Amino acid sequence: MAKRKQFKISVDRNQTISDIGAMAPVPAPNATGDISPERLAHLKELMAKPVAAQSKKDEEEDRVESLIPADAERLIPMDKLKAAPDEWNFFGRPSPEQYGLIYMSVFKYGLWHPCTVWEQEDGSYMILGGHTRHLVYHELHEVTGDDKYLSIPCKVYKHDSISEATARRIIILSNVAQRAQEDTNARIRCYAEMARLEKEEAFYGAGVDVATAVSKIFGVSRSTVFFYRRLGKLIEPLLSAFDQRLITVRIADILADLSEDLQKYVYDKEYHLKITSSMGKALKNAKTVEDIEDIINTPTKKKEKYQYVFSTKIEKPENFDFVPIAVKSDEVKVFKDFLRKSLDQAEGLSEQTKDILLKMIKG
């Protein structure tokens, strides 16, 4: 049976963890809680199915640990945990299928990743990461009656060690990989909310602008942050089309410049499936439905290609390509002198390439 290393737990109570990875045999069900008979039957069916352990550690979890290390890891009684406010945790629950896989994995292999919680002044703990794991433990206790599900391993932030803004950052980073990977709406909300939090309380200090700070926190490029925040201007049907890969990144970026009314018109007419990158400049200036029609119905002019024949006294090596360059006739000598001098500074070019270029200049 798969196992993981024991948690390093600092405890101020007598509870201990002998093996988090392997689960002891489950006793006979003793469900006396608030689960309906139908739900109870479904959970029992899940527990009988084979499942692989959910052992992969998300990059976002690693990022949380490196950016904002927790103060301790310990077992927390389930009745001391409470959910974060809905306006903080906007991800929603996983699908029934995803929940089922997590439920079966925890039942058969144990909890691979602890929850992340924030200690409150009243002695309770707010869940920042692990709402689903908390629910799984609750249901497993109801189904099995096993008291080991009455406490759950948690990474703990002390009440005075982080601010409310930092707690909200942790919620976003703890959930973004699982919930926002295939949901563009959620990722847009993540970047927008993180930008708002950065304005409220700068994570990297006053010397870093908002977009750069957000990109560093998520471990993405600055342009990625800008792009997803721009996608927030798309109407829902077009955003869904982007999620379904019906429109490209470039087309989505073009459509984001249109007003909501024109976006709706484009979608209703299915023009989003006909738009090409070459229409971008014209669409950027579109103000009316008539503008859209003119752009869509104007034949695209194909770019002309020209062929020229030239000769050289130098044989082209097998792994070389010719690069066409045009220079004004009276500037050829100046260009050759420039190229000759530049080759001395071109550290990225091989000596073979430099040698061929010099021979062609002389020829």
Give the per-residue pLDDT at 58: 55
φ, ψ (nearest 5 deg) of residue 80 = -95, -5
- Tell me which long-range contacts 269-276 makes (C-beta under 8 A, separation of at least 24): 269/296, 271/296, 272/238, 272/241, 272/246, 272/247, 273/246, 273/247, 275/247, 275/251, 276/251, 276/300
pLDDT under 50: residue ranges of the chain: 1-33
pLDDT in tens, 177-201: 656 555 788 888 888 999 999 999 9
Give the per-residue pLDDT at 251: 93
What are the residues whose beta carbons fall under 8 Å from the beta carbon of 334, sequence distance 6 or more? Answer: none
Give the per-residue pLDDT at 146: 93
Alpha carbon of residue 124 to chain centroid:
30
What is the distance in angstroms between the CA of the first residue and the CA of the last residue of the chain?
A: 73
Torsion angle of C-alpha atoms 61, 66, 72, 76, degrees rounded to 10: -10
Give the per-residue pLDDT at 333: 87
Give the per-residue pLDDT at 343: 80
Give the per-residue pLDDT at 24: 30
User: Are the CB atoms for 84 and 127 separated by under 8 Å?
Assistant: yes
Give the per-residue pLDDT at 212: 92
**How far is residue 326 from each of residues 82, 323, 340, 361, measured CA to CA in Å?**
70, 10, 17, 14
- The model carries a pTM of 0.63
